[in-house]
Chains A and B, each alone.
Chain A
């Protein structure tokens, strides 16, 4: 893992002190709320419905056991004893007092963490494949590039007042677990014909009110030019992005307005001027950063036989967990273990301080003290010996962190919604809880297989509903909460946006509708290897629409509802 050296440390210390002064100036009345707002936002501090929320960066999702313990400490000391892991691999605290904010930054700085630029119109925390450096299908560890990008973007004097927020994601594997096509910039590493690694650069993807799948701006860039190319993209965006309307200010709107070809032309012309300048990554700098990401001292082991068929009889619960929560590791004899924060009935992504501490201990005991945060709001232990899996499973089970549902129907992404968020139309957490409970304790979950369900409490789409295989969007109709369903979304290497099924449903009808969609899938799928998404892509919307609204379709149903009301 990357560790702060004296320069990084000095910078975060100074940042904490700067913010302490700014808070003081705000509390003295020297700064108005309007002037203070961009300053607090650049330190990750939002004003929500009931309190301040602080968003802390977990750089590209990498977390040490020591850092997790400090996050637990902060949850206990300054919050209500828990934290919430987000879809951007960060952690949020929902009950923060302004007067404590600077102390929290100091506590974070003590373990090499910060909240810089976790909000505001600047380059946000760079995200990555949560299996980075460990996945068996990976070509190269993307974290070294993430760290270079992190250093490049933190307190970047030119790009701290962009038209709007800016998100970058990186993957080093062909299986895209980082949703690179849905970011302002996505970098996808692959090998060229000569076996050299380089990046495809994707630009202008995003969710929100105007969801867009990003477009390829450059098929291939040599790694040493990645930073200068990103700078060229940022500069053109900073100069020409719209600033008159915050809903039209993201780079995707500019790319769509100009067309990708024109945007590319501008970026390429800019890049030619800077490509061989100071931003070209020197081999020594690359080697220096790369040294932080050297693998831990693995033992020489052999892969164990974890065929479900053999284990099934002995311990079906363990077998189910192995199947859904454990992924293949690069190194034989080791495994990647997903820690589910989606126990049915709980708030997706929430974790108590006590469990954070316990999990940090498990990370030390079983995984070289290293964890990851996934963009599906779960945690990951990345270096577990296969021979330890059973013991770890039991230990996680005792903490209610071993729900066997990673990537399955109850592994739901939900935004905070009306329980916390000032912009929300509807609640989203209770909807997630209802659906998850619906699938709880049921072998159906495993039977259905891969299925992502994502819920947003309003069209800002923080719950990524556009790219859920099933998406759920909360809308307000004359003061009442309704939920619109979409089908067919995906954020992987074949990214797609979901299609709307029909008019919104009241909350009480959502779990039933999901159940009918899932049952329809089970009926029509082409064998159990055809996942929900592929069945939808093959069969189309109509059959599912009928499942939701009945053969008469949505129109009659709405009339009927109106009569009842």
Chain B
């Protein structure tokens, strides 16, 4: 059973996910594949309901870079947990294309990876788990210091060291 965690809370998914061949529902938030977005962009926007785009791991988000302000959700798929493209995509979506909505990791997402995913800009995760929240809490405790500055805005150890020196 997959569960949605968003901003550290268990969340009912308000989005209906549709496939390429499915009709666009008349109402309600909808999560569509890239092809549907490209083919029915105007129609989807005219509905006046939240829209999300689902990108497979070989679909570079650059394709929708100009559209991010129209989207409420971008879902990046991990076909296997070993496929790390989504981490780079996430940083680009956040840091370069300036997307501020929900960035969701879907597919083969492991508890062990949530921390890294959070650091590159994901704020929502679809995980297969009985007790996702408890696991998330464990994962969140994994690390409290980081070497790299990244998309989550947390200070890196180098920045902290400089701070320490200034105040110390």
Please list the residues of chain A having a beta carbon within 8 angstroms of any beta carbon in chain B: 5, 7-8, 10-11, 14-15, 18, 21-22, 35, 38-39, 121, 151-152, 154-163, 235, 238-239, 243, 273, 278-279, 282, 284-285, 288
Cross-chain contact A238 with B84 (CB below 8 angstroms): yes
Cross-chain contact A14 with B147 (CB below 8 angstroms): no
Complex Cα spacing A282 to B156, Å: 14
Complex Cα spacing A154 to B145, Å: 11
Complex Cα spacing A11 to B143, Å: 7
B167 within 8 A of A: no
Complex Cα spacing A39 to B87, Å: 17
Q: Give the secondary structure class of A's interface.
A: helix
Contact with A along B8-51 (1 / 0, CB 8 A): 00000000000000000000000000000000000000000000
The residue in chain B whose Cβ has the minimal distance to the Cβ of A11 is B145
Q: Which of B69-77, B99-107, B112-120 contacts A (4 or more CB under 8 A)?
A: B112-120
Choice from B60, B82, B157 contacting A7 with Cβ under 8 Å:
B157
Cross-chain contact B148 with A156 (CB below 8 angstroms): yes
Q: List B contacts of A158 (CB < 8 A).
A: 84, 87-88, 91, 116, 120, 148, 150
Complex Cα spacing A14 to B83, Å: 25
Q: List A contacts of B120 (CB < 8 A).
A: 157-158
Can you list 29 residue pairs at the A/B interface with Cβ under 8 Å?
A7-B145, A7-B157, A11-B147, A14-B142, A14-B144, A15-B143, A35-B112, A38-B82, A151-B157, A152-B147, A157-B115, A157-B146, A158-B84, A158-B88, A158-B120, A160-B84, A161-B82, A161-B83, A161-B84, A238-B85, A238-B87, A238-B88, A239-B60, A239-B85, A243-B83, A278-B156, A282-B158, A285-B161, A288-B161
Q: List A contacts of B149 (CB < 8 A).
A: 278-279
B160 within 8 A of A: yes
Q: List A contacts of B117 (CB < 8 A).
A: 157
Cross-chain contact B148 with A157 (CB below 8 angstroms): yes
Known contacts A157-B150, A238-B84; A10 and B161 CB within 8 A of each other: no
Q: List B contacts of A159 (CB < 8 A).
A: 84, 87
Complex Cα spacing A168 to B150, Å: 22
Cross-chain contact A155 with B147 (CB below 8 angstroms): yes
The residue in chain B whose Cβ has the minimal distance to the Cβ of A234 is B88
B65 within 8 A of A: no
Known contacts A161-B87, A238-B85; A10 and B112 CB within 8 A of each other: no
Q: List A contacts of B91 (CB < 8 A).
A: 158
Complex Cα spacing A82 to B95, Å: 48
Complex Cα spacing A63 to B110, Å: 35
Known contacts A38-B81, A121-B82, A284-B162; A155 and B146 CB within 8 A of each other: yes
Please list the residues of chain B having a beta carbon within 8 angstroms of any beta carbon in chain A: 60, 81-85, 87-89, 91, 96, 110, 112-113, 115-117, 119-120, 138, 142-150, 156-158, 160-162
Complex Cα spacing A10 to B144, Å: 8
Complex Cα spacing A151 to B159, Å: 13
The residue in chain B whose Cβ has the minimal distance to the Cβ of A39 is B112
Choice from B82, B88, B143, B157 contacting A235 with Cβ under 8 Å:
B88
User: What number of A-B contacts does a CB cutoff of 8 Å give?
Assistant: 95
The residue in chain A whose Cβ has the minimal distance to the Cβ of B142 is A18
Choice from A160, A243, A273, A285 contacting B96 with Cβ under 8 Å:
A273
Q: Contacts A38-B82, A158-B120, A238-B87 known; list 9 others, CB within 8 Å.
A: A14-B144, A21-B138, A39-B112, A157-B148, A158-B116, A160-B87, A163-B84, A239-B60, A239-B85
Q: List B contacts of A160 (CB < 8 A).
A: 84, 87, 116
Complex Cα spacing A284 to B159, Å: 11
The residue in chain A whose Cβ has the minimal distance to the Cβ of B110 is A35
* Shortest CB distance B137–A (Å): 12
Complex Cα spacing A239 to B76, Å: 13
Q: List A contacts of B150 (CB < 8 A).
A: 157-158
Complex Cα spacing A206 to B87, Å: 25
The residue in chain A whose Cβ has the minimal distance to the Cβ of B158 is A285
* Shortest CB distance B76–A (Å): 13
Q: List B contacts of A163 (CB < 8 A).
A: 84
Q: List A contacts of B116 (CB < 8 A).
A: 155, 157-158, 160
Complex Cα spacing A39 to B142, Å: 13
Complex Cα spacing A172 to B143, Å: 34
Q: List B contacts of A35 (CB < 8 A).
A: 81, 110, 112
* Shortest CB distance B84–A (Å): 3
Cross-chain contact A157 with B160 (CB below 8 angstroms): no
* Shortest CB distance B83–A (Å): 6
Residue of B81, B85, B113, B156 with most partner-chain A CB within 10 A: B85
The residue in chain A whose Cβ has the minimal distance to the Cβ of B84 is A161
Complex Cα spacing A454 to B76, Å: 45
Choice from A22, A121, A154 contacting B112 with Cβ under 8 Å:
A22
The residue in chain B whose Cβ has the minimal distance to the Cβ of A34 is B81
Q: List B contacts of A8 (CB < 8 A).
A: 157
Q: List A contacts of B144 (CB < 8 A).
A: 10, 14
5 closest Cβ contacts across the A-B interface?
Answer: A161-B84, A157-B119, A157-B116, A7-B157, A151-B147
The residue in chain A whose Cβ has the minimal distance to the Cβ of B152 is A157
* Shortest CB distance B166–A (Å): 11
* Shortest CB distance B71–A (Å): 21
Q: List B contacts of A14 (CB < 8 A).
A: 142-145
Known contacts A159-B87, A161-B87, A238-B88; A152 and B148 CB within 8 A of each other: yes
Complex Cα spacing A288 to B110, Å: 37
Q: List B contacts of A162 (CB < 8 A).
A: 84
Residue of A18, A157, A288 with most partner-chain B CB within 10 A: A157
Complex Cα spacing A243 to B115, Å: 23
* Shortest CB distance A75–B (Å): 29
Q: List A contacts of B110 (CB < 8 A).
A: 35
* Shortest CB distance A233–B (Å): 12
